[in-house]
Amino acid sequence: MRYAALRPTSHARTHAHVGKMATRMAWNAALRAGQDLGFSSLRGFATTAAVCRRAAPFGPMPNDHVDTSQLEAVQRYKSFARYLRAAEAAKTKKCWWKTYRQYLKKEHASDDEVLVNIGLPGSLFSRRDQVKERSRVMRGNRHNPEMEKISRQLTFKIPLEQVKAEWERTSGPFQLRNMATHYGVYRDLFPGAFFIPRVMLRVTYGNEATGHVHYGNHITPAEALAAPRVTYDAEENSLWSLLLTSPDEHLQDKEGEYVHWLVGNIPGNAVQSGEELCHYMPPFPAKGTGFLRFVFILFKQDKAIDFEQHRRSSPCYSLKERTFKTLEFYRMHQDSMTPAGLAFFQSQWDESVTNTFHTLLNMKEPIFEFVRPPVYHPPQKVYPHRQPLRYLDRYRDGHVPTYGIY
C-alpha cells in the first residue's frame, strides 16, 4: 500500500505526458526560429538572445540623480532664466558620449577651415547709422497722410527697380556669396579663400529675358554662341578685368580650366573698349557630362596691368592654349587687382556643341556614355519565403522581366 501511494495515478500521468509534449513543442519551435534566423543550433539562438541584451552604459546618463518615484519633490526651475542658465551650464559640461554635432563635425572637418576674404571691403556705414536711417524713414512714412491713404485703400505700390536696387545695396552680395558657396565656385576657383561680390555684374545673352545670366540658371550652348552684353556700375577713371572660365569642362585635367573670355584694362564699364586678351569662345560641354558651370568674374584694378603673358593668338581654337587656372592668374596680379563681381550659369550639351567641336576646334567630338551593368538576379529558390507571385517573373523564359518591387 505504501508503494501504491507513491505511484502517480493515471490522471496525473496524463497531465505529465501532456506537459512534456508541450515543452518539447516549444523547444522545437525555438529551434526552428533559430534556423529561420540563420542559426543551425540552439547555441546560436542563445547567442542571438545574448547579443540583443542591453549593455551597460560607459558612464552616468543625464538625470540619473533624479528620483522619478517622487516627482513632486523635484526642484522646479520656476523661471525660464533659471532654466536657460542651467542649460548653458549643462552644455559646457563634458560628457562621456559624443553628440550629433561632434559626429557631424568629424565627418565634415574640412568645413571648419578659416577662409580668407580676398574681396573688396564692405560698407563704411556702421550698424548704428543704418538703424538711425531706417527709423527716420519709418517716422516720415507714419506722418505722411498720402501714404497712409494708399496703404488703407490697398493701392500702395513699390517700384520693382527700387526694391532690386535696395537689395543689391544691402543683403544681395551676401546672398550671392552663399549661392556661390553652395555651387562650389570658391572651392574650385579660389581654394581657401572667398570674396563678397560687392559689384553687381549683369550679363545678358541675346535680347530675350531667358538669356540673362543670374547665379546658377540654365543657358544652352546655342544661346551662348556670341559674346554676351556685360554691364556694371563703375566709377570714372577706374580699370577692370573680366574673366569667363569653366572649372568643369577640361577634358584631360580634372583640376584644369578652359578660359572662354578674358578682357583686361577695361575703362569704366565699357567692356568693348578693353584689351581683349583671349577672344570669346562659346561653351562646349561634352555629351554625357551633364550640367557644367561657367563663371564670370569681375576684377577691379588699382592700376593698368601688363597682361602680355596672358595674351592668346586671335583666333585661338587650341584647347591646350586655352588651359587656364584662375588661382594662378589671381596670385600673379593680386597686388594690383581684387575680385569684385560674380555671375555664373550652367550649360548642358545640345546640337550646337557638335558644330563647335567639328568646325571651330577641328577635332572629333568626345562622347561619354554610361554602360549599365546587367540586372542582377539572385539564385532562384525552390520555396521563396514571403515573396509575392511576381518573384518568378525574373526567371521566366522569353519574357522581358519587370523591374518593379518583387
The 10s digit of each residue's pLDDT in 176-201 is 999 999 999 999 999 999 999 999 99
- Compute the distance between CA of residue 44 and CA of residue 37 in angstroms, rounded to an integer: 10
pLDDT at 120: 92
Here the cell at position 8 is 502517480
pLDDT at 193: 94
How confident is the chain (406 residues) per 10-residue block, as mean pLDDT?
Answer: 43 51 62 50 46 61 80 83 87 80 71 83 78 90 89 89 90 94 95 94 87 92 95 94 96 92 96 95 94 97 94 91 95 95 96 95 92 76 69 62 50
Quick one: the chain helix, strand, coil %, rounded to 5?
Answer: 40, 15, 45
Superfamily for the 197-360 domain: PEBP-like (3.90.280.10)
Point out which residues pair with 298 in neighbouring strands.
242, 341
Measure Cα distances from 82 to 37, 65, 85, 88, 89 in Å.
Answer: 52, 19, 5, 10, 11
Residue 38, φ and ψ in degrees, nearest 5: 105, 10
Which helix (H) or strand (E) is 309 found in, with range? none
- Compute the distance between CA of residue 301 and CA of residue 16 in angstroms, rounded to an integer: 101
Measure Cα distances from 368 to 53, 213, 312, 349, 351 in Å.
Answer: 52, 27, 29, 11, 15
pLDDT at 9: 47
The 10s digit of each residue's pLDDT in 293-346 is 999 999 999 999 999 999 998 889 999 999 999 999 999 999 999 999 999 999
Question: What residue segments make up the domains of the chain, in order of their start?
Answer: 125-157, 197-360
Give the single-character DSSP code of 209. Answer: G
Here the cell at position 373 is 551593368
B/e letters for 370-380, b = 16+ CB within 10 Å, e = fewer, are eeeeeeeeeee
- Compute the distance between CA of residue 393 and CA of residue 406 in angstroms, rounded to an integer: 9
pLDDT at 99: 77
Going by C-alpha positions, the residue among 355, 382, 261, 376 that lies closest to residue 312 is 261
pLDDT at 373: 82
Can you list the alpha helix ranges (DSSP code H) found in 305-381? Answer: 326-332, 351-355
